[in-house]
Structure 1
Amino acid sequence: MPTLEAKDTLFSTKTTLNCRGKLLPLDTPQVMGILNITPDSFYAGSRFNSSEAVLQKAKTMLADGADILDVGGYSSRPGATDIPVQEELDRVVPAIEVIYKNFPEAVISVDTFRAAVAEAAVGAGAAIVNDISGGNLDEAMFRTVANLQVPYVLMHMRGTPQTMTTLAKYEDVVVEVVDELQERVATLKQAGVKDIILDPGFGFAKTIAHNFELLRRLDALRIFELPVLVGLSRKSMVYKTLGIEQTDALTGTIALNTMALMKGAALLRVHDVKEMKQTVELYNRTKN
């Protein structure tokens, strides 16, 4: 089991991600805007079900400063309905195509745990694969990403979106997440994936208490010397803790993302791009 003593180094030794030939800098935190092409994503404000709506939201997010647009067609909220591969393809590929056609300089990520969807999405214009399952739900994923030679977001999760809430059992959530990620990172590197981004998976097979412990000790992930992405936006650890509605969770989201930045997060996956870009700008002013 790896030691959790943080190294006296920068959070990530990498300074860029190679996204289809475009170098995405990591010397300042990057903001990833969420575009869900689903009817049942956990936050209604991120759902878009027509090409026109997708294009308008992409335009707004890019104008607000989004560094990456993350397009997903499979709802991963707890207990979400499973859908066939073809249905996910039918949602994701046209959305990526229309964004790429109208904004060819945009960096697009595909949020999927299926290798076939990842491959089709990259063919349509995506430059990053964001896998909530860490390769555990499709044995072809690591090989596919290695062949595509695109950055890969390796997220920690146990089970599936349908079963993960029953698997949130840890003696030490940080040690066990690090241990499980370590095995997957080794397998990814052996497969030939060069650009790896870690995501501890807030809310995925974790209780609210687990989420806060992960955030408190997020800098334990420094041992990997890889960039870390956090997805805290409008999640239950914000609105349930504060006893508010999800629609009122922006202030809490800003607070938690600020803490994540202070712990070394390199990428923020968010619903509210403009506000998070402002948060990053203010955070940058505190750095030497």
Structure 2
Amino acid sequence: MAKQYRTLGGTIFDTANYIVLGLFALAAILPFIFVIGGSFASDAELTKRAVILIPETFSLDAYKFVFSTDTITRSIFVSIFVTVVGTLVNLCFTVTMAYALAKRSLMGRNLVLNLVIFSMLFGGGMVPTYLVIRELGLLDTYGALFLPGAINAFNLIIVKNFFQELPPELEEAARIDGCSELGLLWKIVLPLSKPVLATFTLFYAVGHWNDFFGALLYINDPTKWPLQVMLRQIVLLSHAAAGDMSAMDPNFVQPPEQSVKMAVIVVGTLPILMVYPFLQKHFAKGVLIGSVKG
């Protein structure tokens, strides 16, 4: 095989690319390292050093403060429940509606698509949405956190476009073999849709995990607050934490406020960050699928 020689210009271009991409990578990862390092730093070190990547002495005071009561543990389970159930509801409604709208022979298909697009441009607003949720009896229930946004219009259109790009011969062959419409969706379409399903599973899950404004509006019972709302309370009331101070160790030393904030960021980010490696294989392929053809 003939040996390939690189030109001087190509070498300079590649070197410049590596340098620029390396700088962007450092700019993205250094804040995470700074937050993690600062959450383990001691009071004296945080006062002395403006930027901490690796603390000189590790301290768990901030995490002891955050987990001083079972409030945080309970809110983590609430967030996990809302994220899992909400994502399943989102995928179920999005997939079934997108599959129906992907059928060009569906009666009233264009009208429904126009209504979906209309909902992307115009919304009722915060107050009318609150009134609807109240009249439906969803206040102080977990359903208020995922039922109002069960279908994302943009995601629906992307999934619909993906379904339309699947070869029609597969559907015809399945129908000849006696496959029902539901069986066609479950046995043929969904197995071929793993990239797009993984992509929007991640989008929906991250959205539910990070959402705190919905819980702030619709959940009045503190025992039903998800993690993000509880962490917000800790940031606002770092001296009182999220529960009773009497539950703490009497010898407990109050950690610095900045360290508590960094520990809160780590606690709120790490669980959802651990989900990404399991979906990464399909995510890179599926992120642009269905976004070209209409």
Query: Structure 2-normalised TM-score?
Result: 0.25
Query: Structure 1-normalised TM-score?
Result: 0.26
Question: Which is higher, the Rg of structure 1 or of structure 2?
Answer: 2
Structure with the largest fraction of helix: 2
